[in-house]
């Protein structure tokens, strides 16, 4: 596992300085993952992956160097921002070529280019192929009132939209809570404010909510960060 210094976890550059989704460990043993913030995120907020983008009527073309490896996926007149889908995962979820998946190297206004090692082995068809673009490299604030949201990291510093940086996956850190924190109780997402956590109570056990971690100190003020042992790995 890559070792990162304490200063790195507080850096929020506007340009990528590490591989997205890379895992790092600080000298105190805490584990972090490197993401791009898709929106402004406040310190100590719970974060999740943004929604997938569905695209239909796509076609594919093979690599110029290997006719058996389909690395180009085209949606006519898509109007995509160049480079917007770099390092996204793509899944063919319906139609011709269904079940294939790969990783996007880059994109133009209407074409996705897959990494060669992630190339598809069969063609896609405009008539019925549909894909999902999956933003596994990005995070946003967790949604309101959904205790099942899969939390991918916890911000330990404030991010502006499009900033890059490290998000806590495992170890002691602050978690913004929408209710008073109770010692030794589990934490889940789903408050009525984005990015805030709730205590997993008797009516919402581990079968009813996504476990983020455990409160390690009681804290009686609402909408403030509690100290928690984050357990996302």
CB neighbourhood size of 125 (10 A): 14
Q: Which tens digit of pLDDT belongs to each residue from 15-49?
A: 999 999 999 999 999 999 999 999 999 999 999 99
Q: Is the pLDDT of residue 170 over 60?
A: yes
More confident residue, 161 or 204: 161
Q: Is the pLDDT of residue 205 over 60?
A: no
- Identify the pLDDT of residue 172: 98
Q: What is the CATH number of domain 53-134?
A: 2.40.30
Return d(Cα 100, Cα 102) in angstroms, integer: 7
- Identify the pLDDT of residue 204: 58
Q: Pick from 131, 118, 122, 88: which is nearest to 106 by CA?
A: 88
Return d(Cα 205, Cα 199) in angstroms, integer: 10
Q: Work out whether strand 23-25 and strand 2-3 pair parallel, antiparallel, or are unpaired.
A: parallel
What lies within 8 Å, CB to CB, of 31 at 6+ separation is: 1, 23, 24, 25, 168, 169, 170, 171, 233
Q: How confident is the model at residue 233 (pLDDT cuts 50, 70, 90)?
A: confident
Average pLDDT over the chain reads: 95
Domain boundaries defined on the chain: 2-49+139-231, 53-134
pTM (2 d.p.): 0.93
Q: How confident is the model at residue 64 (pLDDT cuts 50, 70, 90)?
A: confident
- Mean per-residue pLDDT for 182-187? 93
Q: For residue 133, give the 3-state DSSP assignment.
A: strand
Q: Which residues of 93-108 are buried (b: 16+ CB within 10 A; e: fewer)?
A: bebbbeebebbbbebe
CB neighbourhood size of 51 (10 A): 11
- Mean per-residue pLDDT for 162-184? 97
Task: Spell out the long-range contacts of 211-214 with Cβ–Cβ below 8 A and sequence spacing 24 or more.
Answer: 211/186, 211/187, 212/46, 212/151, 212/154, 212/175, 212/186, 212/187, 212/188, 213/175, 213/186, 213/187, 214/184, 214/185, 214/186, 214/187
């Amino acid at each position: 596992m890559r070792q990162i210094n304490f200063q790195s976890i507080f850096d929020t550059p506007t340009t990528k300085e590490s591989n997205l989704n890379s895992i790092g460990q600080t000298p105190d043993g805490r584990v972090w993952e490197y993401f791009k913030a898709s929106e402004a995120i406040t310190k100590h907020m719970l974060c999740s992956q943004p929604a997938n983008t569905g695209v239909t009527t796509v076609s594919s073309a093979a690599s110029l160097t290997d006719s058996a490896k389909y690395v180009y996926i085209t949606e006519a007149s898509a109007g995509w921002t160049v480079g917007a889908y770099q390092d996204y995962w793509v899944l063919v979820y319906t139609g011709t070529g269904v079940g294939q998946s790969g990783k996007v190297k880059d994109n133009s206004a209407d074409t996705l280019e897959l990494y060669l090692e992630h190339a598809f082995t069969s063609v896609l068809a405009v008539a019925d192929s549909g894909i999902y673009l999956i933003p596994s490299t990005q995070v946003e604030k967790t949604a309101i009132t959904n205790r099942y949201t899969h939390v991918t990291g916890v911000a330990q510093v404030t991010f502006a939209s499009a900033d890059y940086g490290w998000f806590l996956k495992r170890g002691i850190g602050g978690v913004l809570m929408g209710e008073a924190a109770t010692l030794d109780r589990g934490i889940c997402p789903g408050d009525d404010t984005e990015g805030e956590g709730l205590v997993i109570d008797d009516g919402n056990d581990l079968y009813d909510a996504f476990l983020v971690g455990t409160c390690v100190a009681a804290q009686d003020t609402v909408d403030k960060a509690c100290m928690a042992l984050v357990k996302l790995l």
